[in-house]
Amino acid sequence: MNINLTAKERTLLEDQKSHEEICIQKYSNYANLASDRQLKEIFNNHAKIEQQHLDSINQLLGGQVPNLNSQQGGGGTNRQFQQPSNVSQAQGSTAGYQTSDKDLCTDILMTEKYVSGTYDTAIFEFRDTQVRDVLNHIQKEEQKHGEAVFKYMESKGMYNPQ
């Protein structure tokens, strides 16, 4: 189905596009920096799903509504994590700064909270129900990413909700 976007809708999608690009970059980089194999898997999986989100946004910008049935990428991120004996530290470094797995998780969780919120705002600004559904689908997956990181952090003693 072809869609005609208003100037505001196009601007909102361009914003979401830049957010998805940053998420892909962060997840890919953080997968390389993470020391824990489980965390590397989470980050690599989320990077792939973020790429699907970017592809969907690009389709919308091109005037096409993507088929959500071919993009069921949210599975596998809500696993239960085993309790660890200790918290691992990443061996990667950026400009002399040692980055721990906890630092990576904290940053990506903060990013997911922000991105999910921007989708919430965007959803209410679109006229077309099918476009709203696509954006809602992406937002739900962003929330699943945040949940997976939260559960990982909690299981490793990095996050203690009180």
Q: Is 60 exposed, middle or buried (0-12, 13-18, 19+ CB in 10 A)?
A: buried
Q: What does the pLDDT read at residue 68?
A: 80
The domain limits of the chain are 7-63+98-155
Give the three-state DSSP class for 84. Answer: coil
Q: Give CATH for domain 7-63+98-155.
A: 1.20.1260.10
Mean pLDDT by 10 residues, the chain (162 residues): 92 98 98 97 98 97 87 42 35 60 96 96 96 97 97 93 80
Beta-carbon contacts of 70 under 8 Å, excluding residues fewer than 6 positions away, are none
How many whole angstroms separate alpha carbon 102 and alpha carbon 107?
9
Predicted TM-score (pTM) of this structure: 0.82
